[in-house]
A and B are shown apart, each in its own frame.
Chain A
């Protein structure tokens, strides 16, 4: 199995994460305080660029298929709720822990990675007790938004892009005022 391709992908991934500031505690926490929306800007930029590129390549037949993440409503929501607690408390996230380790952050290298491995271990060991029960509720399979609302995917992408642009504009104006007011 090739190693260079995934290494290359990860290299760029970690590089952009670091340049975006995603390996820093205050950057991640402050999006939840609405004083620094970099995380949201970062995520939405990657979503817009990614969805346009992926659907374009697939529609043009350059790429045979895309992997559709299955939707388990309860699992996705509940997992998200738990995830947000960890993210907002320590200001860390799964991939940034690896990128931040490369930056020399010992608090990521040691307790960060050990914590991730422990969580993974706990999950795997309790898998049979926890996962099937949660994901049997409302398992919708590999659906996509366009299918759900019965619309063209380019309509959804266009709407998402438009909303994103408007949101970015609002964020640039409004949040600047709040950041000055609430410096810690």
Chain B
């Protein structure tokens, strides 16, 4: 038992173990959603943000079909999953003593982008906006499309992963230049 607790307290696990854990979470999600929802669902994050912003969307554009019918406002299943993700990160960080209020990434960022907090925050904002917009076009993010789609063997997932890696590699090459 002690060894188990000690393992839970480790700050980082093998990605194989953590990834397999997520695989089990997906299986659990399938079982629970089949039992509790009208239609089964796996995991995903990008949809929840759309539910959360829907009230603002309909306020700006009352005739907007997306926020009225496709991703309506409300504390949906997806939103509660997102809340859970936050709590899960919190729990894991507290267990391993890595919870810390910080404004910048721990390593590597500053050697490439410098120490400016403003720069980091602006870049994160723009990147996150781009991410979520792209997830809308693709039909999901890494968890909602790549993983949840991949486990049911939908080609959509693998197309998305291909695109993601292609542009990610080029982007990293451009940003890191000589240090790539």
Contacts and interface: CB of A to CB of B under 8 A. Distances in A.
Given A13-B25, A76-B163, A117 B90 contact: no
A127 B152 contact: no
A114 interface: yes
A73 B163 CA distance: 11
B67 to A, nearest CB: 5
B88 A104 contact: no
- Specify the main secondary structure of chain A where it touches its partner: helix
Contact of A6 (B81, B147, B162): B81
Interface in A134-176: 134, 140, 142-146, 148, 153, 156-157, 168
A15 B89 contact: yes
A179 interface: no
Contacts of A30: 108
Interface string A14-54: 11111111111110011111000011011111111111011
B163 A95 contact: no
Contact of B57 (A104, A121, A157): A121
Contacts of A105: 102
Interface in B96-111: 98-109, 111
A12 interface: yes
Nearest to B34: A63
Nearest to B46: A94
Given A66-B152, A104-B101, A45 B23 contact: yes
Sorting the interface of chain A by its residue count into under 10, 10 to 19, 20 to 34 or 35 or more gives 35 or more
A60 interface: no
B133 A122 contact: yes
Interface string B142-171: 111111111111111111111111111101
Contacts of B65: 127-128
Interface string A47-85: 111110110010000111111111111011111111111
A94 B144 contact: yes
A76 B88 contact: no
B88 A123 contact: no
A103 B89 CA distance: 6
B137 A63 contact: no
Nearest to B32: A5
A125 B134 contact: no
18 contacts: A13-B84, A14-B87, A19-B92, A20-B19, A41-B16, A57-B30, A69-B148, A69-B149, A70-B154, A71-B159, A94-B45, A98-B45, A98-B86, A104-B100, A107-B103, A107-B120, A108-B124, A143-B155
Q: Enumerate the 9 nearest inter-chain pairs by beta-carbon distance, A residue then B residue, closest first.
A: A10-B84, A79-B138, A14-B88, A80-B163, A49-B23, A115-B128, A45-B19, A102-B89, A119-B132
Interface of B: 10, 12-13, 15-34, 36, 39-43, 45-46, 49-50, 52-54, 56-57, 60-61, 64-67, 70-71, 77-78, 80-93, 98-109, 111-112, 117, 120-169, 171-172, 175-176, 179-180
Given A17-B85, A124-B67, A157-B153, 7 more contacts: A67-B41, A85-B127, A93-B141, A97-B45, A111-B125, A116-B49, A120-B46
